[in-house]
Structures are given as C-alpha cells and as structure tokens.
Amino acid sequence: MPSTTATVGSAVGLHARPATIIAEAVADTGSTVTLGLEGGDPVDAGSALMIMTLGAEKGTKVVVTAEDQAALDKIVTLVETDLDAD
C-alpha cells in the first residue's frame, strides 16, 4: 500500500472538525486509509475518534497509508489543509 508523510495544517491539529472531515473523505474513497504518528501505531482514518486519539497538533508529521494512490493523495491534501478555517 502506498504511504507518505504529511504535515498537519489545521490550526487546531487533528481535533474534532478536521478529524470528522478526514473520516468522511475516507468513507467517500471506499479505501482503507490509516494515519499514524511517525514511529507510532497507525489508526483507522475512517474514524474521527481514532484520528483524534493521535493527539496530532499543527505541524505534527503523520504517516498516511492507503490502498490506492488516489485515496492517499486526497487524504494527504486534507491533512495538510487548515480544515478549521472558515
């Protein structure tokens, strides 16, 4: 499965709103996607609650892994975007 490292762009980190947006996007891809802190255990990115357990703050590096490149690209873009901006 392809993977890459992304930097959290949301000002609040991967907290409630950004985590929900990412989890919904994962569901839309129909692929299995995981997020994990570098050197840590990955979590199911289809679950907002699991994403929030990472405690990833703005600027934190996370490893994104997906079943296919299109899903990977979509989720990496979201992780790196400030999803809490209005």
For the chain, the residue count is 86
The one catalytic residue among 6, 8, 15, 29: 15
Look at the alpha carbons of 5, 11, 16, 21 in this order and tell me if their dihedral is positive or negative: negative
CA gap 86, 34 in Å, rounded? 26
Please say whether the beta carbons of 29 and 21 come within 8 A: no
Annotated active-site residue 65? The verdict is: no
Q: Which residues are marked as active site? A: 15
